Amino acid sequence: MKDVMKKISILVVVALLMITTFSMNNLQVQAAETIDVNAESAIIVDANTGKVLYEKQSDLKLPPASMTKMMTEYLVLEAINEGQISWDTTTQISDYAYWLASPSNNFSGIGLIQDKNYTVRELYEAMAIYSDNGTTVALSELVAGSEGEFVKMMNEKAEEMGLPEYKFVNSTGLSNSDLGDYHPEGTESNEDNLLSARSSALLAYHLINDYPEALDYSSMTTTELDGRVLENWNWMLPDWNNDNFSQYSYEGVDGLKTGHTDAAGHCFTGTAQQGDRRIITVVMKTSSEGERFVETKKLMEYGFSQFETVELFPTNYQLKEESKLPVSKGKEKEVDIETAAAFETMIKAGEEELYDIRYEIDEDKLTEDGALEAPLEAGEKIGEAVLQYNGDVDYGYIGGDTADQRVDLVTTEAVEKQNWFMLALGAIGDFFANVFTTVVDFFKGLFS
């Protein structure tokens, strides 16, 4: 009897261990699939497609502080790309920029020298790496003539990019009330820049996709100006030798822009690349310098652990029921259509079956009868294929409803136009067919 009871006890213990292990594993899985971010607003975006992977109050407009400088960076890089200025162009420091750069103003100023020629590269590095305000204003004045004119450019570019929530009143991200009489012309003395997390992410998306060289600078841990070493405020960069920052470093981080003012709290737009995946994250209004990186790390770990980049539909894909279109006036009566490129995107692991595509045929390409008109070239674009997600939670794409993932829909082969004789025969045939139909209908009506 004792032996029996002993065996039962062992079985009970084993069963309890199995249940406990299963429960712990289940809790770990659940923990990995959920995320709790200590920030007023936040977002994760696939940097390659613009697909939103997670959001928390991402449309809430808040002061972005120095994340504003991402727009200044964009416009400077655009001016370089268009040949208006170069990296070696030089400029001097105005009274306003000199005042902003003064360390005594509590604006993290680095101190600049007037009557000295600074290159665009020197000023850009101080702005992008150290977030210096004086060099930021100097660049805005160089590009537009004055910060007031530059602010107009910022808002015009924001509209062009389709930022959903924004207001730019200066190039630095400081409150206009901090600038006193220097606040830009055309803005109010008590105004703040405003961005949502979604707009910040979309701005970052344009910056790193249109001008990937921005990451060459945002990934630098230090730079030097006037003999002074300037450290990057981004403590998540993995190349730091500073032990104080090692707790925040994260694999693949190479940007992008921190920010802090009393009104904004501590915010950060980050980006990281791991393999073929790149994500953009934003946290706004966290409580400390360290917390903005702790919360960003949560977002990045969630993005990289829960999502994978897959090819959902290959190039030359055809929908079975819609693989052909009729052709009018052609030697062939119909033509095959297919996708011109693959649909590759970042999706939550295991959700491949929740995606399909739909065709949007260009109505201008169709006749009244819904046919394509010959002649047609092989590979001629006749519309677009659009990726669709059929799961429970769809955050859409960073640019809104008009920014769905799309690829061109094209013909697989050329279709020549019939010669005039065959077209004439066809017209005659259509004429007599219509006459015959009319006669038949007449007699049907007569004897019905």
Instruction: Give the span between the Cα atoms of 65 and 258, in whole angstroms.
Output: 8
**378/73 Cα distance (integer angstroms):** 42
User: Burial letters for 420-429: b for 16+ Cβ neighbours within 10 Å, e otherwise?
Assistant: eeeeeeeeee
**Rounded Cα–Cα distance for residues 135 and 123 (Å):** 5
Per DSSP bridges, beta strands 41-46 and 277-286 are: antiparallel
**From residue 241, how far is each of 48, 125, 215 by CA, in Å?**
30, 20, 20
DSSP state of 174: -
* Candidate list 51, 61, 69, 298, residue with the active-site label: 69
Q: Count CB neighbours of 301 within 10 A.
A: 13
Pick the catalytic residue from 94, 131, 171, 219.
131
- How far is residue 275 from each of residues 26, 130, 237, measured CA to CA in Å? 28, 28, 17
Q: Counting beta carbons within 10 angstroms of the beta carbon of residue 155, is it exposed (0 to 12), middle (13 to 18) or buried (19 or more)? A: middle
Non-local CB neighbours of 250 within 8 Å, separated by 6+ positions: 236, 238, 272, 296, 297, 300
List 41, 58, 66, 94, catalytic entry:
66
Any residues with CB less than 8 A from the CB of 378 and at least 6 apart, and which? 411, 412, 413, 414
What are the C-alpha distances in Å from 325 to residues 322, 363, 378, 382, 415?
Answer: 8, 13, 14, 10, 12
Question: What DSSP element (H or E) covers 151?
Answer: helix 147-161
Q: Quick one: which of 121, 236, 107, 210 has its CA closest to 157?
A: 210
* Separation of alpha carbons 406 and 386, rounded Å: 5
Q: Has 69 been annotated as catalytic?
A: yes
CA–CA dist 144, 400 (Å, integer)? 30
Contacts 24+ apart (CB under 8 A), 234-237: 234/258, 234/268, 234/270, 235/289, 235/290, 235/293, 236/270, 236/293, 236/296, 236/297
Helix then strand then coil, % of the chain, to nearest 5: 40, 25, 35
In the residue annotation, 66 being an active-site residue is answered as yes
* Residue 258: its H or E element: strand 253-261
Catalytic residues: 66, 69, 131
